[in-house]
Structure 1
Amino acid sequence: MTNPIADPLVEVTDTDAESRFVDLDATPEGVAFVTITRAARRNAFNAEVIAALHEAFETLQGAEGVRVVFVRGAGGTFSAGADLEWMRDAAEHTEADNRDDAMQMAKMLKSLWDIPALTVALVEGGAYGGGAGLAAACDMAIATADAKFSFSEVRLGIIAATISPYVVAAIGPRNARALFATGKVFDAAHAEKVGLVSEIVADAAALDAAREAIAREMMACGPIAVAESKKLVEDVAYRPVEEVMEETARRIARARVSEEGQEGVRAFLEKRKPSWLA
Protein backbone atom coordinates (compact mmCIF):
# COMPACT_ATOMS: atom_id res chain seq x y z
CA MET A 1 0.00 0.00 0.00
CA THR A 2 2.50 2.55 -1.11
CA ASN A 3 -0.13 4.74 -2.71
CA PRO A 4 -3.41 6.15 -1.38
CA ILE A 5 -6.11 3.49 -1.52
CA ALA A 6 -9.57 3.99 -2.93
CA ASP A 7 -10.53 0.47 -4.05
CA PRO A 8 -10.94 -2.77 -2.10
CA LEU A 9 -7.59 -4.48 -1.47
CA VAL A 10 -8.87 -7.93 -0.59
CA GLU A 11 -11.83 -9.81 -1.96
CA VAL A 12 -12.18 -13.45 -0.92
CA THR A 13 -15.15 -15.14 -2.50
CA ASP A 14 -17.51 -17.44 -0.62
CA THR A 15 -18.40 -19.84 -3.43
CA ASP A 16 -21.13 -21.54 -1.40
CA ALA A 17 -23.06 -18.34 -0.69
CA GLU A 18 -21.87 -16.50 -3.80
CA SER A 19 -20.74 -13.60 -1.67
CA ARG A 20 -17.45 -12.36 -0.28
CA PHE A 21 -16.18 -13.43 3.11
CA VAL A 22 -14.23 -10.27 3.89
CA ASP A 23 -13.88 -6.82 2.36
CA LEU A 24 -10.78 -4.70 2.92
CA ASP A 25 -11.15 -1.06 1.89
CA ALA A 26 -9.27 2.12 2.72
CA THR A 27 -9.58 5.83 2.01
CA PRO A 28 -6.80 7.96 0.52
CA GLU A 29 -6.26 9.36 4.03
CA GLY A 30 -5.40 5.89 5.37
CA VAL A 31 -8.63 4.92 7.15
CA ALA A 32 -9.00 1.16 6.61
CA PHE A 33 -12.10 -1.01 7.01
CA VAL A 34 -12.15 -4.78 7.46
CA THR A 35 -15.71 -6.06 7.12
CA ILE A 36 -16.93 -9.64 7.55
CA THR A 37 -19.58 -10.05 4.86
CA ARG A 38 -21.43 -13.23 5.85
CA ALA A 39 -24.52 -11.37 7.03
CA ALA A 40 -26.78 -14.33 6.22
CA ARG A 41 -24.72 -16.39 8.71
CA ARG A 42 -24.44 -13.51 11.19
CA ASN A 43 -20.78 -13.19 10.18
CA ALA A 44 -19.90 -16.50 11.82
CA PHE A 45 -16.39 -17.89 11.53
CA ASN A 46 -15.38 -20.89 9.47
CA ALA A 47 -11.98 -21.83 8.09
CA GLU A 48 -12.44 -19.62 5.02
CA VAL A 49 -13.51 -16.55 7.02
CA ILE A 50 -10.56 -16.99 9.38
CA ALA A 51 -8.17 -17.31 6.43
CA ALA A 52 -9.64 -14.20 4.78
CA LEU A 53 -9.35 -12.16 7.98
CA HIS A 54 -5.77 -13.37 8.45
CA GLU A 55 -4.90 -12.25 4.93
CA ALA A 56 -6.51 -8.85 5.43
CA PHE A 57 -4.76 -8.24 8.76
CA GLU A 58 -1.37 -9.32 7.41
CA THR A 59 -1.86 -6.96 4.45
CA LEU A 60 -2.49 -4.10 6.88
CA GLN A 61 0.59 -4.95 8.96
CA GLY A 62 2.87 -4.15 6.04
CA ALA A 63 0.83 -1.37 4.48
CA GLU A 64 2.18 2.17 4.34
CA GLY A 65 -0.06 5.12 5.12
CA VAL A 66 -2.68 3.28 7.22
CA ARG A 67 -3.58 5.40 10.25
CA VAL A 68 -6.53 3.53 11.75
CA VAL A 69 -8.27 0.20 11.11
CA PHE A 70 -11.96 -0.42 11.81
CA VAL A 71 -13.21 -4.01 12.13
CA ARG A 72 -16.92 -4.64 11.73
CA GLY A 73 -19.57 -7.10 10.56
CA ALA A 74 -22.07 -6.58 7.76
CA GLY A 75 -25.81 -6.57 8.25
CA GLY A 76 -26.03 -5.26 11.80
CA THR A 77 -24.19 -8.10 13.58
CA PHE A 78 -20.52 -8.06 14.52
CA SER A 79 -20.01 -11.85 14.66
CA ALA A 80 -21.94 -14.79 16.07
CA GLY A 81 -18.71 -16.70 16.67
CA ALA A 82 -18.14 -20.16 15.21
CA ASP A 83 -20.27 -21.35 12.31
CA LEU A 84 -22.44 -24.31 13.39
CA GLU A 85 -21.65 -26.39 10.30
CA TRP A 86 -17.93 -25.80 10.82
CA MET A 87 -18.28 -26.89 14.46
CA ARG A 88 -20.23 -29.98 13.39
CA ASP A 89 -17.44 -30.95 11.03
CA ALA A 90 -14.81 -30.25 13.69
CA ALA A 91 -16.50 -32.70 16.04
CA GLU A 92 -15.64 -35.46 13.56
CA HIS A 93 -11.99 -34.42 13.21
CA THR A 94 -9.03 -35.79 15.12
CA GLU A 95 -7.40 -33.85 17.93
CA ALA A 96 -4.47 -33.06 15.61
CA ASP A 97 -6.82 -31.69 12.94
CA ASN A 98 -8.62 -29.58 15.54
CA ARG A 99 -5.29 -28.26 16.80
CA ASP A 100 -4.42 -27.19 13.26
CA ASP A 101 -7.79 -25.42 12.92
CA ALA A 102 -7.31 -23.69 16.27
CA MET A 103 -3.85 -22.51 15.26
CA GLN A 104 -5.33 -20.79 12.22
CA MET A 105 -7.67 -18.85 14.51
CA ALA A 106 -4.78 -18.05 16.87
CA LYS A 107 -2.63 -16.79 13.99
CA MET A 108 -5.49 -14.65 12.67
CA LEU A 109 -5.98 -12.96 16.03
CA LYS A 110 -2.24 -12.41 16.44
CA SER A 111 -2.10 -10.80 12.97
CA LEU A 112 -4.78 -8.35 14.11
CA TRP A 113 -2.93 -7.70 17.39
CA ASP A 114 0.28 -6.94 15.46
CA ILE A 115 -1.16 -4.24 13.17
CA PRO A 116 0.87 -1.06 13.89
CA ALA A 117 -2.07 1.32 13.41
CA LEU A 118 -4.84 1.78 15.99
CA THR A 119 -7.47 -0.96 15.60
CA VAL A 120 -11.10 -0.38 16.56
CA ALA A 121 -13.95 -2.90 16.71
CA LEU A 122 -17.35 -1.47 15.76
CA VAL A 123 -19.81 -3.76 17.52
CA GLU A 124 -23.52 -3.88 16.89
CA GLY A 125 -25.98 -6.74 17.25
CA GLY A 126 -23.97 -9.54 18.80
CA ALA A 127 -20.35 -10.49 19.49
CA TYR A 128 -20.29 -14.07 20.71
CA GLY A 129 -17.46 -16.50 21.35
CA GLY A 130 -14.75 -15.85 18.79
CA GLY A 131 -16.56 -12.68 17.75
CA ALA A 132 -16.13 -11.26 21.25
CA GLY A 133 -12.51 -12.40 21.09
CA LEU A 134 -12.04 -10.53 17.82
CA ALA A 135 -13.30 -7.36 19.52
CA ALA A 136 -10.94 -7.96 22.45
CA ALA A 137 -7.95 -8.31 20.10
CA CYS A 138 -8.56 -4.78 18.81
CA ASP A 139 -7.03 -1.83 20.65
CA MET A 140 -10.48 -0.52 21.49
CA ALA A 141 -14.12 -1.34 20.87
CA ILE A 142 -17.18 0.84 20.44
CA ALA A 143 -20.59 -0.80 20.82
CA THR A 144 -24.18 0.20 20.31
CA ALA A 145 -26.28 0.21 23.47
CA ASP A 146 -28.25 -2.86 22.39
CA ALA A 147 -25.20 -5.01 21.57
CA LYS A 148 -24.88 -8.37 23.32
CA PHE A 149 -21.76 -10.34 24.21
CA SER A 150 -20.96 -13.82 25.45
CA PHE A 151 -18.05 -16.19 25.86
CA SER A 152 -20.43 -19.08 25.40
CA GLU A 153 -17.96 -21.90 24.76
CA VAL A 154 -18.57 -23.64 28.10
CA ARG A 155 -22.21 -24.15 27.18
CA LEU A 156 -20.96 -26.35 24.36
CA GLY A 157 -18.56 -28.19 26.63
CA ILE A 158 -15.49 -26.43 25.23
CA ILE A 159 -13.34 -23.49 26.31
CA ALA A 160 -12.47 -19.99 25.03
CA ALA A 161 -8.83 -20.93 24.55
CA THR A 162 -7.47 -19.16 21.45
CA ILE A 163 -9.14 -15.85 22.31
CA SER A 164 -8.11 -15.97 25.99
CA PRO A 165 -4.84 -13.96 25.78
CA TYR A 166 -6.68 -10.99 24.29
CA VAL A 167 -9.73 -11.21 26.52
CA VAL A 168 -7.65 -11.51 29.69
CA ALA A 169 -5.53 -8.54 28.56
CA ALA A 170 -8.71 -6.52 28.01
CA ILE A 171 -10.78 -7.38 31.08
CA GLY A 172 -8.37 -8.93 33.59
CA PRO A 173 -8.20 -12.45 35.04
CA ARG A 174 -11.08 -12.24 37.51
CA ASN A 175 -13.63 -10.91 35.03
CA ALA A 176 -12.41 -13.43 32.46
CA ARG A 177 -12.83 -16.32 34.89
CA ALA A 178 -16.40 -15.28 35.68
CA LEU A 179 -17.45 -14.74 32.07
CA PHE A 180 -15.62 -17.79 30.69
CA ALA A 181 -16.97 -20.08 33.40
CA THR A 182 -20.61 -18.98 33.17
CA GLY A 183 -20.95 -18.37 29.44
CA LYS A 184 -23.55 -15.75 30.35
CA VAL A 185 -24.87 -13.25 27.81
CA PHE A 186 -24.14 -9.70 28.90
CA ASP A 187 -24.99 -6.27 27.55
CA ALA A 188 -22.86 -3.37 26.36
CA ALA A 189 -23.06 -1.67 29.76
CA HIS A 190 -21.45 -4.67 31.44
CA ALA A 191 -18.93 -4.99 28.61
CA GLU A 192 -17.91 -1.38 29.24
CA LYS A 193 -17.78 -1.97 33.00
CA VAL A 194 -15.29 -4.84 32.67
CA GLY A 195 -13.22 -3.14 29.95
CA LEU A 196 -14.19 -5.12 26.87
CA VAL A 197 -15.84 -2.02 25.39
CA SER A 198 -14.31 1.46 25.42
CA GLU A 199 -17.42 3.45 24.53
CA ILE A 200 -21.17 2.90 24.15
CA VAL A 201 -23.23 4.77 21.57
CA ALA A 202 -26.98 4.90 21.04
CA ASP A 203 -27.36 3.25 17.66
CA ALA A 204 -25.80 2.49 14.27
CA ALA A 205 -25.87 6.15 13.24
CA ALA A 206 -24.03 7.14 16.41
CA LEU A 207 -21.55 4.32 15.76
CA ASP A 208 -20.76 5.87 12.38
CA ALA A 209 -20.35 9.29 14.00
CA ALA A 210 -17.96 7.84 16.61
CA ARG A 211 -15.99 6.12 13.86
CA GLU A 212 -15.62 9.40 11.97
CA ALA A 213 -14.50 11.19 15.14
CA ILE A 214 -11.82 8.60 15.85
CA ALA A 215 -10.60 8.75 12.26
CA ARG A 216 -10.22 12.53 12.55
CA GLU A 217 -8.42 12.22 15.88
CA MET A 218 -5.93 9.70 14.50
CA MET A 219 -4.93 12.04 11.68
CA ALA A 220 -3.37 14.31 14.34
CA CYS A 221 -1.14 11.51 15.69
CA GLY A 222 2.28 10.61 14.33
CA PRO A 223 1.88 7.15 12.74
CA ILE A 224 5.26 5.89 13.95
CA ALA A 225 4.53 7.18 17.45
CA VAL A 226 1.21 5.29 17.43
CA ALA A 227 2.93 2.04 16.53
CA GLU A 228 5.67 2.58 19.12
CA SER A 229 3.08 3.47 21.78
CA LYS A 230 1.24 0.20 21.19
CA LYS A 231 4.47 -1.77 21.45
CA LEU A 232 5.48 0.14 24.58
CA VAL A 233 2.32 -0.93 26.40
CA GLU A 234 2.86 -4.57 25.46
CA ASP A 235 6.49 -4.48 26.60
CA VAL A 236 5.95 -2.83 30.00
CA ALA A 237 2.64 -4.39 31.04
CA TYR A 238 2.80 -6.29 34.34
CA ARG A 239 6.56 -5.80 34.70
CA PRO A 240 8.11 -4.16 37.77
CA VAL A 241 8.96 -0.49 37.26
CA GLU A 242 12.58 -1.14 38.12
CA GLU A 243 12.89 -3.54 35.17
CA VAL A 244 11.63 -1.09 32.57
CA MET A 245 13.01 2.29 33.72
CA GLU A 246 16.12 2.25 31.56
CA GLU A 247 14.32 0.87 28.53
CA THR A 248 11.55 3.47 28.70
CA ALA A 249 14.16 6.25 29.00
CA ARG A 250 15.91 4.89 25.91
CA ARG A 251 12.66 4.77 23.98
CA ILE A 252 11.62 8.36 24.71
CA ALA A 253 15.14 9.56 23.89
CA ARG A 254 15.03 7.71 20.58
CA ALA A 255 11.60 9.17 19.81
CA ARG A 256 12.76 12.72 20.58
CA VAL A 257 15.60 12.56 18.05
CA SER A 258 13.63 10.67 15.39
CA GLU A 259 12.50 12.42 12.22
CA GLU A 260 8.86 12.21 13.27
CA GLY A 261 9.59 13.38 16.82
CA GLN A 262 11.66 16.33 15.61
CA GLU A 263 8.95 17.33 13.15
CA GLY A 264 6.20 17.09 15.75
CA VAL A 265 7.99 19.20 18.35
CA ARG A 266 9.07 21.82 15.79
CA ALA A 267 5.53 22.05 14.44
CA PHE A 268 4.19 22.60 17.94
CA LEU A 269 6.74 25.29 18.73
CA GLU A 270 6.22 26.99 15.38
CA LYS A 271 2.43 26.80 15.78
CA ARG A 272 1.88 24.92 12.53
CA LYS A 273 0.56 21.51 11.53
CA PRO A 274 3.04 18.63 11.47
CA SER A 275 3.79 17.02 8.11
CA TRP A 276 1.43 14.09 8.69
CA LEU A 277 -1.47 16.55 8.90
CA ALA A 278 -0.48 18.62 5.87
Structure 2
Amino acid sequence: MEKNGKVTVNVINGIASINFHHPKSNSLPTKLLKEITNYIYEFGEDEKAHVIVIRSEGEKSFCAGASFDELLEIKDFKTGKEFFMGFARLLNTMRKCPKFIIARIHGKAVGGGVGIAAAADYTMATNEASVRLSELALGIGPFVVGPAIERKIGKTNFITMSIDAEWHDAFWAKQAGLYTKVFANIHDLDEAISSLAKKIAACSPDAISEMKKVFWQGTENWDSLLEERAEISGRLVLSDFTKNYIKNFKTKS
Protein backbone atom coordinates (compact mmCIF):
# COMPACT_ATOMS: atom_id res chain seq x y z
CA MET A 1 0.00 0.00 0.00
CA GLU A 2 1.20 3.51 -0.77
CA LYS A 3 2.60 5.49 2.15
CA ASN A 4 0.52 8.57 1.37
CA GLY A 5 -2.61 6.66 0.55
CA LYS A 6 -4.37 6.20 -2.75
CA VAL A 7 -7.72 6.38 -4.52
CA THR A 8 -8.70 3.89 -7.21
CA VAL A 9 -11.82 3.95 -9.38
CA ASN A 10 -13.66 1.95 -12.00
CA VAL A 11 -16.97 1.88 -13.83
CA ILE A 12 -18.58 -1.48 -14.58
CA ASN A 13 -22.09 -1.85 -15.98
CA GLY A 14 -23.06 1.65 -14.88
CA ILE A 15 -21.73 1.22 -11.34
CA ALA A 16 -18.89 3.61 -10.47
CA SER A 17 -16.71 2.60 -7.53
CA ILE A 18 -14.45 4.95 -5.60
CA ASN A 19 -12.04 3.12 -3.28
CA PHE A 20 -9.72 4.98 -0.93
CA HIS A 21 -6.94 3.79 1.32
CA HIS A 22 -4.52 5.30 3.80
CA PRO A 23 -2.17 3.22 5.95
CA LYS A 24 -3.23 5.14 9.07
CA SER A 25 -6.75 3.76 9.52
CA ASN A 26 -7.93 5.22 6.22
CA SER A 27 -7.53 8.78 7.50
CA LEU A 28 -7.99 11.58 4.98
CA PRO A 29 -5.21 14.07 4.19
CA THR A 30 -5.85 16.89 1.71
CA LYS A 31 -4.55 14.88 -1.24
CA LEU A 32 -7.07 12.07 -0.80
CA LEU A 33 -9.93 14.48 -0.06
CA LYS A 34 -9.28 16.27 -3.34
CA GLU A 35 -9.07 13.04 -5.33
CA ILE A 36 -12.30 11.62 -3.91
CA THR A 37 -14.08 14.93 -4.47
CA ASN A 38 -12.86 15.19 -8.06
CA TYR A 39 -13.91 11.64 -8.88
CA ILE A 40 -17.41 12.18 -7.47
CA TYR A 41 -17.75 15.28 -9.64
CA GLU A 42 -16.44 13.46 -12.72
CA PHE A 43 -18.74 10.48 -12.24
CA GLY A 44 -21.61 12.88 -11.70
CA GLU A 45 -20.98 14.18 -15.24
CA ASP A 46 -20.19 10.80 -16.78
CA GLU A 47 -23.11 9.26 -18.71
CA LYS A 48 -21.57 5.80 -18.25
CA ALA A 49 -21.86 6.08 -14.45
CA HIS A 50 -25.43 5.67 -13.17
CA VAL A 51 -24.69 5.13 -9.46
CA ILE A 52 -21.62 5.72 -7.28
CA VAL A 53 -20.33 3.47 -4.49
CA ILE A 54 -17.80 4.88 -2.00
CA ARG A 55 -15.75 2.40 -0.02
CA SER A 56 -12.39 2.11 1.70
CA GLU A 57 -9.90 -0.75 1.66
CA GLY A 58 -8.86 -3.08 4.43
CA GLU A 59 -10.90 -4.91 7.03
CA LYS A 60 -10.66 -2.59 10.04
CA SER A 61 -11.53 1.12 10.00
CA PHE A 62 -13.70 2.61 7.29
CA CYS A 63 -12.26 6.07 7.93
CA ALA A 64 -10.45 7.68 10.85
CA GLY A 65 -11.35 11.18 9.69
CA ALA A 66 -8.86 14.03 9.41
CA SER A 67 -5.17 13.22 9.10
CA PHE A 68 -3.50 13.97 12.45
CA ASP A 69 -0.14 14.29 10.72
CA GLU A 70 -1.50 17.07 8.54
CA LEU A 71 -3.34 18.75 11.42
CA LEU A 72 -0.06 19.06 13.32
CA GLU A 73 1.55 20.84 10.37
CA ILE A 74 -1.05 23.62 10.29
CA LYS A 75 0.62 26.87 11.43
CA ASP A 76 -1.79 29.60 10.33
CA PHE A 77 -5.50 30.29 9.86
CA LYS A 78 -5.39 30.24 6.05
CA THR A 79 -3.86 26.77 5.98
CA GLY A 80 -6.24 25.55 8.67
CA LYS A 81 -9.31 26.80 6.86
CA GLU A 82 -8.13 25.29 3.58
CA PHE A 83 -7.61 21.89 5.21
CA PHE A 84 -11.17 21.79 6.52
CA MET A 85 -12.47 23.15 3.24
CA GLY A 86 -11.33 19.81 1.82
CA PHE A 87 -14.10 18.14 3.82
CA ALA A 88 -16.53 20.95 2.98
CA ARG A 89 -15.94 20.52 -0.76
CA LEU A 90 -16.31 16.74 -0.51
CA LEU A 91 -19.65 16.93 1.29
CA ASN A 92 -20.94 19.64 -1.03
CA THR A 93 -19.91 17.65 -4.09
CA MET A 94 -21.74 14.60 -2.74
CA ARG A 95 -24.78 16.80 -2.13
CA LYS A 96 -24.79 18.29 -5.63
CA CYS A 97 -23.95 15.09 -7.51
CA PRO A 98 -26.90 14.14 -9.76
CA LYS A 99 -26.28 10.43 -9.14
CA PHE A 100 -27.23 8.42 -6.06
CA ILE A 101 -24.24 7.70 -3.83
CA ILE A 102 -24.05 4.50 -1.79
CA ALA A 103 -21.61 4.39 1.13
CA ARG A 104 -20.13 1.04 2.19
CA ILE A 105 -19.12 1.29 5.87
CA HIS A 106 -17.31 -1.91 6.75
CA GLY A 107 -15.62 -0.74 9.97
CA LYS A 108 -15.31 2.09 12.45
CA ALA A 109 -15.93 5.64 11.24
CA VAL A 110 -14.72 8.79 12.98
CA GLY A 111 -15.35 12.47 12.25
CA GLY A 112 -15.06 12.98 8.52
CA GLY A 113 -15.81 9.30 7.99
CA VAL A 114 -19.16 9.80 9.72
CA GLY A 115 -19.66 12.82 7.48
CA ILE A 116 -19.23 10.68 4.37
CA ALA A 117 -21.68 8.11 5.74
CA ALA A 118 -24.20 10.90 6.38
CA ALA A 119 -23.77 12.69 3.04
CA ALA A 120 -24.32 9.51 1.05
CA ASP A 121 -27.84 8.93 -0.20
CA TYR A 122 -27.94 5.30 0.97
CA THR A 123 -25.57 3.94 3.60
CA MET A 124 -25.06 0.29 4.48
CA ALA A 125 -22.72 -1.09 7.12
CA THR A 126 -21.56 -4.14 9.04
CA ASN A 127 -22.21 -4.60 12.73
CA GLU A 128 -18.54 -3.68 13.30
CA ALA A 129 -19.12 -0.17 11.95
CA SER A 130 -19.24 1.88 15.15
CA VAL A 131 -19.24 5.67 14.84
CA ARG A 132 -17.70 8.48 16.84
CA LEU A 133 -17.39 12.25 16.70
CA SER A 134 -14.16 12.84 18.63
CA GLU A 135 -13.59 16.45 17.54
CA LEU A 136 -14.53 18.05 20.87
CA ALA A 137 -11.86 16.01 22.62
CA LEU A 138 -9.37 17.50 20.14
CA GLY A 139 -10.46 21.01 21.04
CA ILE A 140 -12.23 21.54 17.73
CA GLY A 141 -15.77 20.24 17.19
CA PRO A 142 -17.63 18.53 14.33
CA PHE A 143 -18.37 21.83 12.60
CA VAL A 144 -17.95 21.02 8.90
CA VAL A 145 -19.50 17.54 9.00
CA GLY A 146 -22.21 18.69 11.39
CA PRO A 147 -24.87 19.79 8.85
CA ALA A 148 -24.69 16.47 6.98
CA ILE A 149 -24.85 14.41 10.16
CA GLU A 150 -27.60 16.46 11.76
CA ARG A 151 -29.64 16.24 8.55
CA LYS A 152 -29.48 12.43 8.75
CA ILE A 153 -29.84 11.70 12.47
CA GLY A 154 -31.54 14.82 13.85
CA LYS A 155 -30.33 17.47 16.25
CA THR A 156 -30.75 15.46 19.47
CA ASN A 157 -28.64 12.53 18.26
CA PHE A 158 -26.09 14.91 16.76
CA ILE A 159 -25.79 16.73 20.09
CA THR A 160 -25.37 13.40 21.86
CA MET A 161 -22.55 12.31 19.54
CA SER A 162 -20.86 15.70 19.69
CA ILE A 163 -20.85 16.06 23.47
CA ASP A 164 -20.01 12.58 24.74
CA ALA A 165 -17.46 11.86 21.96
CA GLU A 166 -17.79 8.13 22.67
CA TRP A 167 -18.29 5.17 20.36
CA HIS A 168 -21.83 4.39 19.25
CA ASP A 169 -22.37 0.94 17.77
CA ALA A 170 -23.78 0.19 14.33
CA PHE A 171 -27.22 -0.62 15.67
CA TRP A 172 -27.42 2.77 17.39
CA ALA A 173 -26.38 4.34 14.08
CA LYS A 174 -29.12 2.46 12.24
CA GLN A 175 -31.76 3.40 14.78
CA ALA A 176 -30.63 7.02 14.56
CA GLY A 177 -30.98 6.97 10.77
CA LEU A 178 -27.32 7.16 9.77
CA TYR A 179 -27.28 3.61 8.39
CA THR A 180 -30.07 2.24 6.24
CA LYS A 181 -29.17 -1.40 6.83
CA VAL A 182 -26.65 -3.29 9.00
CA PHE A 183 -25.24 -6.71 8.10
CA ALA A 184 -23.55 -9.46 10.07
CA ASN A 185 -20.46 -9.59 7.85
CA ILE A 186 -18.69 -7.98 4.90
CA HIS A 187 -19.84 -10.69 2.46
CA ASP A 188 -23.50 -9.97 3.15
CA LEU A 189 -22.84 -6.23 3.00
CA ASP A 190 -21.20 -6.49 -0.41
CA GLU A 191 -23.97 -8.72 -1.74
CA ALA A 192 -26.59 -6.18 -0.70
CA ILE A 193 -24.67 -3.24 -2.15
CA SER A 194 -24.14 -5.06 -5.44
CA SER A 195 -27.84 -5.91 -5.69
CA LEU A 196 -28.97 -2.35 -4.92
CA ALA A 197 -26.40 -0.74 -7.22
CA LYS A 198 -27.54 -2.95 -10.13
CA LYS A 199 -31.16 -1.93 -9.55
CA ILE A 200 -30.28 1.77 -9.45
CA ALA A 201 -28.06 1.48 -12.54
CA ALA A 202 -31.10 0.28 -14.48
CA CYS A 203 -33.22 3.27 -13.47
CA SER A 204 -33.81 6.51 -15.35
CA PRO A 205 -30.88 8.93 -14.85
CA ASP A 206 -33.24 11.88 -15.24
CA ALA A 207 -35.58 10.57 -12.56
CA ILE A 208 -32.65 9.97 -10.21
CA SER A 209 -31.34 13.49 -10.80
CA GLU A 210 -34.72 15.02 -10.00
CA MET A 211 -35.16 12.83 -6.92
CA LYS A 212 -31.73 13.85 -5.70
CA LYS A 213 -32.76 17.51 -5.87
CA VAL A 214 -35.86 16.75 -3.82
CA PHE A 215 -33.91 14.78 -1.22
CA TRP A 216 -31.51 17.67 -0.66
CA GLN A 217 -34.00 20.52 -0.59
CA GLY A 218 -33.24 22.95 2.22
CA THR A 219 -29.45 22.66 1.91
CA GLU A 220 -29.00 25.39 -0.70
CA ASN A 221 -26.98 27.49 1.75
CA TRP A 222 -24.35 24.83 2.34
CA ASP A 223 -21.68 26.44 0.15
CA SER A 224 -21.49 29.41 2.51
CA LEU A 225 -22.44 27.47 5.66
CA LEU A 226 -19.68 24.87 5.34
CA GLU A 227 -17.13 27.55 4.53
CA GLU A 228 -18.11 29.36 7.73
CA ARG A 229 -17.73 26.09 9.63
CA ALA A 230 -14.31 25.49 8.04
CA GLU A 231 -13.24 28.90 9.32
CA ILE A 232 -14.23 27.96 12.87
CA SER A 233 -12.24 24.71 12.71
CA GLY A 234 -9.35 26.45 10.97
CA ARG A 235 -9.08 28.86 13.87
CA LEU A 236 -9.49 26.33 16.67
CA VAL A 237 -6.95 23.89 15.23
CA LEU A 238 -4.21 26.45 15.95
CA SER A 239 -4.80 26.24 19.72
CA ASP A 240 -2.22 24.79 22.08
CA PHE A 241 -4.97 22.51 23.40
CA THR A 242 -5.40 20.84 20.02
CA LYS A 243 -1.68 20.63 19.25
CA ASN A 244 -0.94 19.03 22.64
CA TYR A 245 -3.83 16.57 22.32
CA ILE A 246 -2.66 15.33 18.94
CA LYS A 247 0.97 15.06 20.07
CA ASN A 248 -0.07 13.03 23.14
CA PHE A 249 -2.34 10.83 21.01
CA LYS A 250 0.42 10.10 18.51
CA THR A 251 2.85 9.32 21.34
CA LYS A 252 0.46 6.81 22.88
CA SER A 253 -0.34 5.17 19.55
Range into which the TM-score falls when normalised by the shorter chain: 0.7 to 0.9
Q: What is the identity, as a one-letter code, of the residue corresponding to 1:183?
A: A
User: Of 45, 52, 60, which aligns to 2:43?
Assistant: 60
Query: 1:50 and 2:38 equivalent?
Result: no
Tell me, what secondary structure is at the counterpart of 2:216? helix
Offset at residue 110 of structure 1 (A): 0.9
Is the 2:62–2:105 contact (alpha carbons within 8 Å) kept by the matching residues of 1? yes
Equivalent residues of 1:124, 1:147 under 8 A apart: yes
Paired residue secondary structure (2:82): helix
Check conservation: 2:11, 2:48, Cα contact below 8 A: no
Name the count of aligned residue pairs.
Answer: 218
Q: State how 1:1-278 maps to structure 2 within 5 Å.
A: 17=3, 21-27=6-12, 29-38=13-22, 40-76=23-59, 77-90=61-74, 93-235=75-217
1:116-169 Cα shifts (integer Å, max 9, x gaps): 111111001211111111111100110101211101111111111111111111
SS in 1 for 2:217: helix
Relative contact order higher in (CA < 8 Å, ≥ 6 apart): 2
Once the two structures are TM-superposed, the CA of residue 53 in structure 1 deviates from its matched residue by 1.1
Q: Which string of whole-angstrom CA distances, capped at 9 and with x for unpartnered residues, describes residues 221-269 of structure 1?
A: 21110110110222368xxxxxxxxxxxxxxxxxxxxxxxxxxxxxxxx
The answer on whether the counterparts of 1:61 and 1:111 sit within 8 Å (CA) in structure 2 is no
Task: List 4+ stretches of structure 1 deviating above 3 A.
Answer: none
Deviation, 1:80, is 1.0
Deviates more, 1:191-200 or 1:45-54: 45-54
C-alpha contact 1:32 1:69 (8 A) present in aligned 2? yes
Distance in 1, matches of 2:218 and 2:165, equals 31
How many Å apart are 1:219 and its aligned residue?
3.3
Please identify the structure whose Cα radius of gyration is greater. Answer: 1
* One-letter code aligned to 2:210: E
Indicate conservation of the 8 Å contact 2:99/2:208, yes or no: yes
Q: Equivalent pairs: percent with the same residue? A: 26
Residue 96 of structure 1: CA displacement?
Answer: 2.3
Query: How far, CA to CA, are the matches of 1:161 and 1:150 in structure 2?
Result: 14
Counterpart CA distance in 1 for 2:5 and 2:38 is 14
Deviations 1:84-110 (A, max 9, x none): 2112112xx112221122122201221
Tell me the TM-score normalised to structure 1 length. Answer: 0.74
- What corresponds to 2:242 in structure 1? none
Report the equivalent of 2:245: none
- Specify the alignment match of 2:227 in structure 1: none
Structure 2 residue runs of 5 or longer lacking an equivalent are 220-253
Q: Secondary structure at the match of 2:53?
A: strand
- Does the Cα contact within 8 Å between 2:95 and 2:216 map onto a contact in 1? no
Q: Which amino acid is 2:37 matched to?
A: H
Contact 1:37-1:74 at 8 Å conserved across structures: yes
